Amino acid sequence: MRRIAPNSFAIPFSLAGLGGLWLTAADAGGAPRAVGEALFLAAAVVWLALLLAYGAHVATRRGTLGSDLVHPVLSPFLTLVTITPTIVVAGGLGP
């Protein structure tokens, strides 16, 4: 199995942010709402796929999670594992 780097979680985070911006533009009347909703759906699917892949990677390679948690560059990206679904849920609860 290939290494899944924690910075991969920036992909669904960015998709969720773009979805939020698109929904804001839709509320202002300048963009179709369906595109923003599709971006949120894409963010959720990519996040889940990465979470499963990273979980499998960590489960098969001893010490990976520990080394990722103390790495000076990669460790901040692990917070996106919890931040991204929060943004997706909040975006889905809007008016």
pLDDT in tens, the chain (95 residues): 678 899 999 999 999 999 999 999 999 998 999 999 999 999 999 999 999 999 999 999 999 999 999 999 999 999 999 999 999 998 876 55
Measure the CA–CA gap between 41 and 15, rounded to whole angstroms: 9
- Dmax (CA) of the chain: 51
Q: What are the boundaries of each domain within the chain? A: 6-92
Q: Are 91 and 41 in contact (CB under 8 A)?
A: no
The model scores a pTM over 0.85: yes
